Amino acid sequence: MSCFIYLLLGFASSTLVAQDNRIIIAEAVPFVKEEFVGVRFVLAPFFTQKVSGTIQSGLPSVLEIELTIRDEQNNRVAEFVVLRRISYNIWDEKYRLDSADTTLYFKSFTDLQKACLLLKSAPFVKLATFAIGENYKLHVRAGLKLISSLQTRKLAGWLDKSYQETETISSDESSSGFRLSLGALVSMFMGDSAEKTAKAGWQVFPFSLTGLQK
């Protein structure tokens, strides 16, 4: 399975200065690829006038979807975080959507919005993890962080794989490498407090393994 990379904000001292925005998940459906399971999402429209204006001014934003799969006893089976970076180059007049392994460009803001509402995670958990006949639930919540120009300049690169794994990276050509877990990244980026992390509440979806869509 290919590596899953995540946006890293440069220095822990950076201060998040922009508005948090709650996002509602309209649909969440599992899919299978090469014996691994991921999730496809349909998001409710979230491009308010403020969000649209901020992006079109040249300041990027990062969309985060947290997901957790739980069994009938409410035990956590797997978890994952989906991140997408949304930005606009005011000189080239192109919108950009970055995922872990793909960069898409759009001339039309409408096309960018459509792409942001239809997302999927990387396949992140083995199909063999799930017991036949067991019922599972998918818990998800999402939020949008509009980030400052200072944070944009310090945007370091990409962090590899899951919550527990770490990877040595460099924040830019003049910075020394350091190690940081994904959990620490999410904490630093989205913030730990309710004031900093204005995500929607957890939503629960059935997680049916019958006839998984490939």
Is the pLDDT reported for residue 81 higher than 60? yes
Q: Which pLDDT score, from 0 to 100, does residue 36 have?
A: 94
**Mean pLDDT, range 136-164, rounded to an integer:** 64
Mean pLDDT of the chain: 74
> 213 falls in which pLDDT band (50, 70, 90)?
low
Read off the pTM.
Answer: 0.67
Q: Which pLDDT score, from 0 to 100, does residue 113 have?
A: 95
**What amino acid occupies position 78?**
A
Rounded Cα distance between 74 and 83, Å, is 25
The closest of 157, 135, 147 to 87, measured between CA atoms, is 147
Is the pLDDT reported for residue 8 higher than 70? no
> 87 falls in which pLDDT band (50, 70, 90)?
very high
Rounded Cα distance between 138 and 123, Å, is 15
- In this predicted model, which residue has the larger pLDDT, 2 or 78? 78
Q: Express as a percent the part of the chain with pLDDT over 70.
A: 63
The token duo for 110 is 């409408």
**Mean pLDDT, range 146-155, rounded to an integer:** 53
The closest of 170, 144, 173 to 157, measured between CA atoms, is 170
Query: β-strand 177-181 against 94-98: which pairing, if any?
Result: unpaired
Is the pLDDT reported for residue 193 higher than 50? no
The token duo for 66 is 């947290």
Domain ranges of the chain: 5-202
Is the pLDDT reported for residue 134 higher than 80? yes
Whole-angstrom distance between the N-terminal and C-terminal Cα of the chain? 16
Q: Which pLDDT score, from 0 to 100, does residue 107 have?
A: 95
pLDDT, tens digit (0-9, with 9 covering 90-100), for 9-64: 332 223 333 344 689 999 999 999 999 999 999 999 999 998 999 899 998 999 99
Q: Express as a percent the part of the chain with pLDDT over 90.
A: 50
If one counts every other C-beta atom within 10 angstroms of the C-beta of residue 15, the result is: 9
Rounded Cα distance between 38 and 141, Å, is 16
The closest of 74, 53, 182, 169 to 124, measured between CA atoms, is 182
